Chains A and B, each alone.
Chain A
Amino acid sequence: MSVPLVPKLLRAHLADLALNDSRLDDRGQWDGRDTKLETGILARAEGSAKVTMGDTIVLAGVKFQIMTPYPDRPNQGGLMCSCEVRPIAGRHWEAGPPSPQSIELGRVVDRGIRESGCIDVDELCIIPGEKAWQVILDLHAISDDGNLFDAFALAGIAALRDATIPAERFEIGEDTPLKVSKTPIMCSYHKVGGRFVYDASYREELGGDERIHITLGDDDHVHSLQKGLKGIFTAEEFDEIMEHAKARCAELREIVNG
């Protein structure tokens, strides 16, 4: 990503808005943008989802490969989550090898899904020590107007829930749906104008400071946390964010499970 010029005016404007409890698009501090989820939309993927959050649009696609289990875990298959933000998604994203930003994105989303244990890797084993399924979740940004993290995480879990193991194509029995036992959901918060807001837009990210990502599983179990960018936050701020995340994750889980 090229380093965008952060206009001091934008930061000042965001600080003014925060004082008046307002945001660039008139949302409240804890309001998210309209979120739309579609599944089964990609013809060649074994599972897929598209998430639209305001002007942020992402795709997720699931593919399967046969892998040799790792010697120390002969009874397990694998889950891999990879993320690419290509120049199509915004003028601030450049072509070339994956940037640290896009690697962080992929890894944070990966941790939330992996650590929730929603995919039982033991079930992916075909022949112990010889053959197992590797589930590959690819996240692809189409339009970045901020908060790719939450959009990717939502599309990712929805695509996994939509996935079918293509056993027939590999001549190992019948196609079966991939078992996904839980629904981890991520909520992200950015410090904008001196306070945390939920679901920041691109301009809020540009003129904001640190960010915090929280992934909660069913029953509000915490599965991943990440603090990104320069900035300092207090325990009280974190408590407030966590309370909001619990409520919002439950709403989004309804959309996925619905």
Chain B
Amino acid sequence: MGGYGDVQMIDENGLRMDGRKPGDVRPITIETGVVPVADGSCRMIWGTNEVIVAVYGPMEAHPRKIQRQDRAVLDVAYNMAPFSTTDRIRPGFNRRSREISKVTADALESVVLLELYPRSKIRIGIEIVSAEAGTRCVGLTAASVALADAGIPMTDLVVSVASGKINDVVVCDLNKEEDNYGEADLPMGVLPNTGELVFLQMDGDLSPDEFKQAWDYNMDAAMEVHKLMVEALKGGGN
């Protein structure tokens, strides 16, 4: 977190630079069936984030050493396209994308009924085509929609939202400037049917009260986004 206190991101009416109130989420559109050759897919546009997720499988897990006798393995590859950010990203190995792939897999393994498909692999490709802020949240959320689109049994969808703090005010769903100059960031992955969590990260500085507020914002936002996900899945696509 930069914590540049001199960048004013909340006006005198308590509105943010993009006109949102502190608890508001950016506009979201969700579409399924966008990768015709995949078993399931999802495009999620969240603010100016654009993420495309494709799911393949369950299929043969190879090399064989990755196979598990009692369950399927999830192979998650989160990647930012070279043209997805202001400064081009060099393609190739990158510690950040490895970590995000891992925590995304950890979150999804908590909801996918892996034991139904022993010795197989389910591949989830997450491509960030345009990045604003919160790409890991959008990637995880879109991945759960794509898994559902592929007909993979799950106990619940996963909705991921981040709240944070800008100019000492707690706000929901940080945009690019707020993420760059804000003082804290708390991304969470919520199971909307139970309110349980499968993903949690945080960096920055929050007081106990601020932390509670950020947590509550994330929970409320998750329920809101969940409605859009269900709508997209029921509404068509493929």
B111 in the interface (beta carbon within 8 A): no
> Among A48, A61, A86, which residue has its beta carbon within 8 angstroms of that of B77?
A86
CB distance from B219 to the nearest CB of A (A): 29
A91 in the interface (beta carbon within 8 A): yes
A29 in the interface (beta carbon within 8 A): no
A8 in the interface (beta carbon within 8 A): no
B152 in the interface (beta carbon within 8 A): no
CB distance from A80 to the nearest CB of B (A): 10
Residue of A nearest to B91 (CB): A84
Given contacts A65-B88, A82-B82, A136-B88, contact A88 B130 (CB under 8 A): no
Residue of A nearest to B101 (CB): A95
Indicate if the CB atoms of B91 and A87 lie closer than 8 Å: no
> Among B87, B123, B127, B131, which residue has its beta carbon within 8 angstroms of that of A91?
B123
B9 in the interface (beta carbon within 8 A): no
Residue of A nearest to B90 (CB): A82
Interface size class of B (residues with CB under 8 A): 35 or more
Q: B62 contacts which chain A residues (CB < 8 A)?
A: 2
Residue of A nearest to B43 (CB): A142
Indicate if the CB atoms of A140 and B127 lie closer than 8 Å: yes
Given contacts A48-B83, A136-B88, A138-B83, contact A42 B129 (CB under 8 A): yes
CB distance from A3 to the nearest CB of B (A): 11
> Among A62, A91, A97, A145, which residue has its beta carbon within 8 angstroms of that of B36?
A145
Q: Taking chain B's interface residues, is the majority helix, strand, or loop, or is none over half, making it mixed? A: loop
Q: Compute how far the CA of A153 lies from the CA of B91 in the bound complex, rounded to whole angstroms.
A: 19
Given contacts A91-B56, A95-B77, A140-B127, contact A55 B36 (CB under 8 A): yes
B160 in the interface (beta carbon within 8 A): no
Given contacts A55-B36, A63-B88, A143-B35, contact A86 B83 (CB under 8 A): no
Given contacts A55-B37, A145-B36, A145-B37, contact A44 B82 (CB under 8 A): no
Q: Compute how far the CA of A84 lies from the CA of B36 in the bound complex, rounded to whole angstroms.
A: 19
CB distance from A171 to the nearest CB of B (A): 14
Indicate if the CB atoms of B37 and A90 lie closer than 8 Å: yes
CB distance from A68 to the nearest CB of B (A): 17
Indicate if the CB atoms of A57 and B129 lie closer than 8 Å: no
CB distance from A115 to the nearest CB of B (A): 23
Q: Mark A188-208, 1 if CB is under 8 A from B, else 0.
A: 000000000000001000000
Chain A residues numbered 78-100 whose CB sits less than 8 Å from any CB in chain B: 82, 84, 86-91, 95, 97-98
CB distance from B44 to the nearest CB of A (A): 14
CB distance from A94 to the nearest CB of B (A): 9
CB distance from B176 to the nearest CB of A (A): 10
Q: A2 contacts which chain B residues (CB < 8 A)?
A: 62
Q: B127 contacts which chain A residues (CB < 8 A)?
A: 86, 88, 140, 142
CB distance from A8 to the nearest CB of B (A): 20
A45 in the interface (beta carbon within 8 A): yes
Given contacts A82-B91, A84-B91, A91-B59, contact A61 B82 (CB under 8 A): yes
Q: B92 contacts which chain A residues (CB < 8 A)?
A: 97
Q: Mark A40-79, 1 if CB is under 8 A from B, else 0.
A: 0011110010000001010101110100000000000000
Q: A55 contacts which chain B residues (CB < 8 A)?
A: 36-37
Q: Compute how far the CA of A63 lies from the CA of B130 in the bound complex, rounded to whole angstroms.
A: 13
Indicate if the CB atoms of A44 and B130 lie closer than 8 Å: yes
B54 in the interface (beta carbon within 8 A): yes
Indicate if the CB atoms of A43 and B37 lie closer than 8 Å: no
Q: Compute how far the CA of A100 lies from the CA of B237 in the bound complex, rounded to whole angstroms.
A: 34
Indicate if the CB atoms of B130 and A202 lie closer than 8 Å: no
Indicate if the CB atoms of B130 and A42 lie closer than 8 Å: yes
CB distance from B135 to the nearest CB of A (A): 11
Q: B53 contacts which chain A residues (CB < 8 A)?
A: 88
Indicate if the CB atoms of A138 and B81 lie closer than 8 Å: yes
Indicate if the CB atoms of A57 and B36 lie closer than 8 Å: yes
Q: Compute how far the CA of A2 lies from the CA of B59 in the bound complex, rounded to whole angstroms.
A: 13
Indicate if the CB atoms of A87 and B77 lie closer than 8 Å: yes
Residue of A48, A82, A140 with most chain B CB atoms under a 10 A cut-off:
A140
CB distance from B27 to the nearest CB of A (A): 13
Interface residues of B (CB under 8 A from A): 34-38, 48, 50, 52-54, 56-57, 59, 62, 75, 77, 79, 81-88, 91-92, 123, 125-127, 129-132
